[in-house]
């Protein structure tokens, strides 16, 4: 490389080459990104308004439970989410307590958002210590769905009314309604605790990496602009129902943008600092750094975006929309980091690196000294033992814990890392009352086969054998009118031998179809209830002429779990093919992409083994969601391959001048520090998902954090360079580099 004196003049008589870049276009995009990202920041807090966190929003329109929900809604003017309010004391409830509970029921009925006509009178446990009032929340009225934040407000108003009326009693929510609101409340901390923790972690790491009190601000501010821009785009798309935004998607979006944005910034700034040692003009230095960094950063962004968009092949709406949500985040991050950040840094000047401002001294060749130079030398001298040893280590990590990884799903109560009131209330309800009440299986049948369905369903193991457990749908309007006219008549009408309302209160068939409700013997989201729904479907599907379908809350959970397994088995191979094609185009080779993908998949397998051990024996999680392996794979492979892209693009650049084996060692030495820093930042930001009290996000956060560190420290630092060094120039087969000097 041409040497420069302290003024930037060439000591060999040659002028340093000036690299042109599309300056006007980049500056224009930077200005647009600044204003759009700043304006979009106001939409971060609004994302909760367009979230959907109920199981039904996760499923496709063709799922059996979704079909049942859509058809059975014709029988109801108001669709509700069942829930309970419990009143408890350690000793038996007194007459004064019961009077207060009755008053609480009246006050709850007056709360806006409660389906007062669907409420029940207080029910008392056998030991007399607990009372329960069935309180359905209005989820959809006249075809218009109620937003999640409104449901949360309604539930809180219900509990406030109950507490004010029943002073001295413990008041707890229970049932699907209470647990849904607990999920919504958990996600309410996304734009506060989660984002704040992620930013704090990144600031601390960047201070250590850059050792500058100034420089950290630029990548972090750029990441916030990217997050604002992404939030604005996603808000309008979710509001228009082009995509479904869930709480978990929003949480992943936040950490993904902060983590990936910081990664891109680290790579660009590292190359910029390097070029400042050779160019007196900071604009020329940035131009060179931008041109040299752009291929790796672009390839990284494209790989992650395409990998995420593979999720659109999912059956689950939540997975299907997570892909576009996260892909939009990466696209906005790439746009800001490749436009606003370089313009801001070049404009600011060298002082941003204070107190270690780079000077024009040609002292940036890090390939011959420093910690990573020593590591590279060790890898080169013992390449075969290194790659064989790390392969054995990764295989051992896989084997040590994979048998402990359970992905059968979590009940709602098991889904929290803490114990919200809804979980405490659900456990109390299950111990004091019929656990299957309030969330029946909903069965659709041709009206002519209604009685045959009732008889068959009543005999299914796992269906409650209590009178009135399996009944045709009640006409809510007729029942409400009867209650208002003669409340005593309701009790006598329901006191028949079957326990079901009389025929005059039964809903009339619609389009030749009828609804039958079946109370389950077990809690609605327990493994036993899921098994009962499977038996119900086998039974109902087999009834001639019934065209029976089984839905309801339990069936929805079952369909979500089944779809998760389908998505995992379908999408993982698609992601591998897509990433292989991207790498083949980027590296202009076929063997290198195969090796890189194989190493990342091995790293993913090792991560699963470690997760199985920690989830079961350290964190004591009851289970993992069926979607966990898919989420972990997409993020680990798509993000883990990034570091191999950063490494191998530099290796290829060095190979063209120094040969493959020397290029591998030079590439590792030069990129070692920045890629390790990037991996630490990304791992730390995903670990922050543990701030939210949800097992699924804690599991994903741990898996990605551990897997990224494994990729950066073991796979990218030792396994890939050692294996590449051992193979030599053949790694570039069939490109011309495979025939060049080694």
pLDDT of residue 367: 46
pTM, two decimals, is: 0.81
The pLDDT tens digits for 47-88 are 877 777 655 567 777 889 989 988 888 887 778 888 899 999
pLDDT of residue 3: 39
pLDDT at residue 190 tops 60: no
- Burial label for 208, CB within 10 Å (0-12, 13-18, 19+), is exposed
Name beta bridge partners: 123.
Answer: 132
pLDDT of residue 14: 42
pLDDT of residue 475: 77
User: 84-98, 478-492, 596-610, 728-742: which has the minimum mean pLDDT?
Assistant: 478-492
pLDDT at residue 174 tops 60: yes
704 contacts 642 by C-beta, under 8 angstroms: no
pLDDT at residue 170 tops 90: yes
CA atoms within 13 A on the CB side of 220: 20
pLDDT band at residue 211, thresholds of 50, 70 and 90? Answer: confident
- Burial label for 417, CB within 10 Å (0-12, 13-18, 19+), is middle
pLDDT of residue 371: 81
CATH topology match: 76-185 vs 365-420+558-742: no
The pLDDT tens digits for 434-448 are 888 878 999 999 999
pLDDT of residue 487: 56
pLDDT of residue 147: 73
Sheet of 78-81, strand order: 78-81, 137-141, 144-145
Architecture (CATH level 2) of domain 76-185? 2-Layer Sandwich (3.30)
pLDDT of residue 364: 52
Residue recorded with tokens 């680290």: 266
- Mean of pLDDT values over 708-726: 90
pLDDT of residue 129: 95
- Mean of pLDDT values over 136-150: 78
- From the CA atom positions of the chain, what is the Rg in Å? 31
592 contacts 97 by C-beta, under 8 angstroms: no
Q: For residues 274 and 226, which has the higher predicted lDDT (pLDDT)?
A: 226
Question: What CATH homologous superfamily does 1-66+190-361 map to?
Answer: Multidrug efflux transporter AcrB transmembrane domain (1.20.1640.10)
pLDDT of residue 434: 85
pLDDT of residue 207: 84
- Mean of pLDDT values over 465-487: 75
In sign, the C-alpha dihedral spanning 140, 525, 317, 182 is positive
pLDDT of residue 189: 57
Q: Could you give the CA distance from residue 518 to residue 76 in angstroms, rounded to a whole number?
A: 17
Backbone angles phi, psi at 134, to 5 degrees: -75, 120
- Mean of pLDDT values over 616-622: 90
Q: Could you give the CA distance from residue 381 to residue 376 in angstroms, rounded to a whole number?
A: 9
- Mean of pLDDT values over 34-50: 81
pLDDT of residue 449: 94
pLDDT of residue 525: 82
pLDDT of residue 689: 81
pLDDT of residue 279: 87
pLDDT at residue 493 tops 60: no
The pLDDT tens digits for 659-702 are 888 888 988 888 888 888 888 888 888 888 887 788 988 998 89
pLDDT band at residue 490, thresholds of 50, 70 and 90? Answer: low
Backbone angles phi, psi at 144, to 5 degrees: -105, 120
The domain limits of the chain are 1-66+190-361, 76-185, 365-420+558-742, 440-551
- Mean of pLDDT values over 173-179: 86
pLDDT at residue 295 tops 80: yes
Determine the topology of domain 365-420+558-742 in CATH.
Answer: Multidrug efflux transporter AcrB transmembrane fold (1.20.1640)
30 contacts 38 by C-beta, under 8 angstroms: no
Q: C-alpha angle 436/438/440, rounded to 5°? A: 65
pLDDT at residue 335 tops 90: yes
pLDDT of residue 682: 83
pLDDT of residue 368: 44
pLDDT of residue 492: 53
């Amino acid at each position: 490389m041409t040497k420069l004196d302290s003024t930037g003049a060439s000591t060999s008589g040659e002028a340093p080459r000036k690299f042109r870049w599309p300056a006007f276009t980049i500056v224009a995009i930077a200005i647009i990104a600044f204003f759009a990202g700043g304006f979009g920041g106001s939409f971060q807090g609004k994302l909760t308004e367009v979230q959907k966190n109920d199981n039904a929003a996760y499923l496709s329109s063709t799922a059996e439970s979704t079909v049942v929900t859509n058809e059975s809604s014709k029988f109801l003017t108001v669709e509700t989410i069942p829930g309970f309010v419990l009143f408890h004391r350690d000793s038996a409830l007194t007459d004064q307590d019961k009077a207060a509970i009755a008053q609480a029921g009246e006050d709850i009925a007056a709360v806006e958002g409660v389906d007062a006509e669907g409420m029940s009178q207080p029910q008392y446990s056998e030991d007399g210590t607990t009372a329960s009032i069935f309180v359905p929340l209005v989820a959809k009225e006249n075809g218009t769905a109620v937003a999640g934040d409104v449901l949360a407000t309604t539930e809180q108003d219900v509990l406030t009314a109950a507490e004010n009326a029943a002073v001295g009693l413990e008041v707890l929510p229970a049932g699907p309604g209470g647990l849904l609101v607990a999920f919504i409340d958990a996600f309410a901390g996304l734009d506060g605790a989660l984002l704040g923790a992620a930013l704090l972690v990144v600031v601390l790491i960047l201070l250590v990496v850059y050792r500058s009190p100034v420089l950290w601000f630029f990548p972090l501010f750029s990441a916030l602009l990217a997050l604002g821009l992404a939030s604005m785009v996603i808000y309008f798309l979710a509001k228009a129902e082009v995509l479904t935004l869930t709480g978990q998607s929003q949480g992943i979006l936040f950490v993904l943008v902060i983590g990936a944005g910081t990664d891109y910034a680290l790579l660009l700034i590292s190359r910029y600092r390097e070029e400042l040692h050779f160019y007196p003009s900071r604009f020329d230095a940035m131009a060179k750094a931008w041109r040299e960094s752009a291929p790796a950063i672009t390839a990284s962004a494209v790989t992650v975006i395409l990998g995420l968009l593979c999720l659109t092949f999912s059956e689950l709406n939540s997975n299907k929309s997570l892909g576009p949500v996260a892909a939009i985040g990466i696209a906005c991050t790439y746009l800001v980091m490749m436009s606003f950040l370089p313009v801001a840094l070049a404009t600011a000047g060298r002082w941003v690196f204070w107190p270690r401002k780079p000077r024009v001294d040609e002292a940036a060749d890090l390939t011959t000294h420093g910690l990573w130079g020593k590591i590279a030398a060790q890898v080169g001298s013992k390449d075969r033992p290194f790659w064989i040893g790390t392969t054995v280590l990764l295989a051992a990590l896989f084997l040590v814990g994979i048998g402990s990884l359970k992905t059968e799903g979590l009940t709602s109560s098991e889904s929290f890392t803490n114990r919200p009131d809804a979980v405490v209330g659900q456990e109390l309800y299950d111990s004091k009352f019929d656990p299957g009440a309030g969330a029946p299986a909903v069965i659709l049948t041709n009206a002519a086969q209604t009685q045959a369905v009732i008889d068959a369903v009543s005999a299914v193991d796992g269906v409650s054998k209590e009178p009135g457990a399996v009944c045709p749908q009640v006409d809510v309007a007729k029942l409400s009118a009867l209650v208002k006219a003669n409340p005593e008549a309701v009790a006598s009408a329901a006191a028949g031998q079957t326990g079901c309302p009389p025929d005059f209160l039964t809903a009339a068939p619609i389009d030749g179809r009828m609804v039958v409700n079946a109370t389950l013997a077990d809690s609605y989201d327990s493994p036993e209830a899921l098994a009962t729904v499977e038996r119900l479907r086998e039974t109902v599907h087999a009834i001639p002429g019934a065209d029976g379908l089984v839905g309801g809350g339990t069936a929805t959970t079952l369909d979500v779990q089944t779809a998760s397994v389908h998505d995992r088995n379908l999408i993982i191979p698609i992601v591998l093919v897509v990433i292989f094609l991207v790498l083949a185009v980027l590296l202009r080779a076929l063997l290198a992409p195969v090796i890189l993908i194989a190493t990342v998949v091995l790293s993913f397998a090792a991560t699963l083994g470690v997760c199985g051990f920690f989830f079961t024996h350290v964190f004591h999680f009851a289970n993992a969601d069926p979607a966990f392996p898919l989420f972990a794979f997409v993020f680990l492979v798509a993000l883990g391959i990034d570091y191999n892209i950063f490494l191998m693009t530099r290796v290829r650049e060095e190979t063209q001048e120094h040969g493959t084996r020397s290029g591998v060692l030079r590439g590792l030495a030069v990129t070692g520090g920045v890629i390790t820093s990037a991996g630490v930042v990304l791992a730390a930001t995903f670990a922050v998902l543990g701030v939210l009290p949800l097992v699924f996000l804690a599991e994903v956060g741990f898996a990605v954090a551990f897997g990224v560190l494994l990729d950066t420290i073991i796979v990218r630092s030792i396994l890939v360079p050692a294996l590449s060094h051992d193979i030599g120039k053949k790694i570039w087969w069939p490109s011309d580099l495979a025939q060049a000097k080694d």
